[in-house]
Amino acid sequence: MLQPNPAALDFLLARRSRPAKTLQLPVPTAEQLAPILTAALRVPDHGKLEPWRLLVLTKPAMARLADMAEARARATGGDDQRIAKGRGQFDQGHLAVVVISSPKAQDKVPDIEQTLSAGAVCLGLVNAAEAAGWGACWLTGWVSHDRGFAEPAFDLAPQERVAGIVHIGTEGPTPPERPRPDVAALTRWLTA
């Protein structure tokens, strides 16, 4: 028998990410973050592999990573925009959780399913943070994909990748609403 949860559906229909640069202090404490992380890890995980791991970045870690991002951008000939983009995510952030896709070598679950599970952790983290009353934003950017930065910054193993950097904090000003996808235009029903 169906047991609808209208409050949960209403939350999902109205939820929205906040731009990371608008998230302010205070940020969740370790105790406040624990149930958010617990909820985020309740994702599809075929084979119970847990093909992901989390790094919680506090402000001192963010300052170190901002300097590392600037150094990496300069070392690779990055322009001012690349430097600003790399630094900005860490300079402006107060707390973030890095979700690392860490696929396990085995024959049962394809790597793509393990990678998608890490993406589900990112979305679960955003939803759980917002359900707990915080603002959240899932970012990537070049700092997530540049191996020369990400490997030392996040201690990545060769098979690992950054799925997302989820910033969490107190919501600042409400940004204007943005256009939402046209469900009818993006959906096709196969009935036979």
> Nearest-CA neighbor of 140 among 178, 100, 176?
100
Looking at residue 148, its pLDDT comes to 97
Is 46 a residue whose pLDDT tops 80? Answer: no
Q: Maximum Cα–Cα distance for the chain, whole Å?
A: 61
- 140 marked among binding-site residues: yes
- 42 marked among binding-site residues: yes
- 15 marked among binding-site residues: yes
Span 101-115, mean pLDDT? 92
What percent of the chain has pLDDT above 90? 86
Domains of the chain from N-terminus onward: 18-171 (3.40.109.10)
Q: Contact, 150 vs 143, CB < 8 A?
A: yes
Q: Contact, 150 vs 101, CB < 8 A?
A: no
Looking at residue 44, its pLDDT comes to 86
Interatomic CA distance for residues 131 and 181, integer angstroms: 22
Looking at residue 49, its pLDDT comes to 92
β-strands 161-169, 135-139 pairing = antiparallel
Beta strands in the chain (DSSP E): 52-57, 96-101, 135-139, 161-169
- 167 marked among binding-site residues: no
Is 77 a residue whose pLDDT tops 80? Answer: yes
Q: pLDDT for 148-178, tens place per residue? A: 999 999 999 999 999 999 999 999 888 888 8
Tokens of 25: 């202090």
- 139 marked among binding-site residues: yes
List, edge to edge, every strand of the sheet that includes 161-169. 52-57, 96-101, 161-169, 135-139
- 145 marked among binding-site residues: no
Span 120-140, mean pLDDT? 97
More confident residue, 108 or 26: 26
Looking at residue 31, its pLDDT comes to 98
User: What is the DSSP annotation of 74-86?
Assistant: HHTT--HHHHHHH
Centroid of chain to Cα 182: 24
Average pLDDT value over all residues in the chain = 95
Name the one residue in this structure whose structure tokens are 């939350």: 11
Looking at residue 178, its pLDDT comes to 86
